[in-house]
């Protein structure tokens, strides 16, 4: 004879929902947003200053270890923030399971590739100067 198992409301929510993810994703989104608040001015001012001055000025700007490090941190943080944000939108609004899986994979691959390309470009400028 088979026994019926009764699951209490607490037991249903104890596993942190169907994704078993809880609030970790929410915290990562907020932490990356706060990090961008601090990194953005340090990235934008040197970039804007060198933007109209030509190729040599841009190379000279990112030959500095400080500017190169800030730029790399900015690129990584911005793309992680983008990945988390797009993931939430895809999970909330795409209801077809195969399409959602494909979009989540594309989101992860695109943001990782863009982060690699950005950091590689900054490193190439820094180490070639």
Split into its structural domains, the chain has a count of 1
The overall average pLDDT reported for the chain is 88
In a domain, 51, yes or no: yes
In a domain, 16, yes or no: no
Alpha carbon 102 to chain centroid, angstroms: 18
In a domain, 8, yes or no: no
CATH code, domain with 118: 1.20.1300.10
In a domain, 118, yes or no: yes
pLDDT at residue 78 above 60?
A: yes
Phi, psi of 62 (to 5 degrees): -90, 10
In a domain, 1, yes or no: no
pTM, whole model, 2 decimals?
0.80
Residues spanned by the domain of 119: 23-128
Segment 18-74, tens digit of pLDDT: 555 557 778 899 999 999 999 999 999 999 999 888 889 999 999 999 999 999 999
For residue 25, the surrounding DSSP H or E stretch is: helix 24-51
Angstrom distance (rounded) from CA 12 to CA 18: 9
Conformation bin of residue 22: beta by default, left when phi > 0, alpha when psi is -120 to 50: left
pLDDT at residue 2 above 80?
A: no
């Amino acid at each position: 004879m088979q026994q019926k198992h009764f699951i209490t409301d607490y037991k249903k929510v104890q596993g942190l929902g169907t994704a078993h993810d809880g609030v970790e994703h929410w915290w990562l989104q907020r932490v990356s947003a706060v990090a961008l608040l601090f990194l953005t001015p340090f990235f934008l001012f040197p970039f804007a200053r060198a933007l109209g001055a030509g190729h040599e000025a841009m190379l000279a700007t990112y030959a500095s270890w400080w500017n190169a490090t800030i730029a790399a941190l900015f690129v990584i943080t911005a793309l992680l923030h983008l990945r988390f944000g797009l993931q939430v939108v895809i999970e909330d609004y795409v209801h077809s399971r195969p399409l959602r899986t494909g979009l989540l994979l594309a989101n992860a691959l695109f943001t990782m590739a863009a982060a690699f390309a950005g950091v590689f470009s900054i490193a190439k400028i820094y180490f070639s100067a």
